[in-house]
Amino acid sequence: MPHLENMVLCRESQVSTLQSLFGERHHFSFPSIFIYGHTASGKTYVTQTLLRSLELPHVFVNCVECFTLRLLLEQILNKLNHLSSSESECSTHITCEIFNDFVRLFKRITEAENLKDQTVYIVLDKAEYLRDMEANLLPGFLRLQELTGRNVTVIFLSEIVWEKFRPNTGCFEPFVLYFPDYSIGKIEYIILTNDNSVKYFFVVLKIKLACSNENTLMS
């Protein structure tokens, strides 16, 4: 997929792994995927770009913005409802306060004709904030495919490693994927490849830094 390679630079290994996990639209995907790495390592951008480019049905939720259980569950359900319904059909706001109701409502929404024969992806960005919510929430999301009997994959995006994320009560293990930091060389390549207007600034900055280093060594 050449156009995707041009959109996502220096993340070939991660893109290839995710494409393999996603598989065909109608195949059951991995129940949960845990993607971790530092800030600005490309986790969110790569995941969103892949899902959009492949035109896979998905909802994206930021766990910082959805700081209560109700906000989180309702945002997922209402975004999912927009995917499965026309504007007139999804005018009613769905309310949900507990995870058991979420499972029931999720099953109902995904019965829609345009969703039932393909994988639905739920992306939880800043997923480490889930640890501050109810104890059953994280294990529930990890088992969502089993609990609903639906073809659904939950993708967790986090800045902490899975070992610090895993609940003490035990849970289903997700597929874990690491995004390392970009090297200086890769950052330079991305900037110079993507935006001609930045090239001049970057080259001048590099020359100034080189001159500064030379002056430091000479003094």
pLDDT of residue 171: 80
Q: Give the structural domain span for 131.
A: 2-178
| For the chain, percent of residues with pLDDT exceeding 70 | 83
Rounded distance, CA 122 to CA 165, Å? 18
**One domain, residues 40 and 118:** yes
Confidence of residue 76 (pLDDT cuts 50, 70, 90): very high
**One domain, residues 53 and 81:** yes
The total number of structural domains that make up the chain:
2
**One domain, residues 107 and 71:** yes
pLDDT of residue 180: 94
pLDDT of residue 217: 41
pTM over 0.95: no
What secondary structure letter does DSSP report for 127? G
Which position has the higher pLDDT, 27 or 75?
75
Residue 203: both structure tokens together: 């080259």
Rounded distance, CA 58 to CA 135, Å? 25
**One domain, residues 121 and 210:** no
Cα 146–chain centre separation: 21
| Mean pLDDT value across the chain | 85
**One domain, residues 93 and 200:** no
**One domain, residues 198 and 114:** no
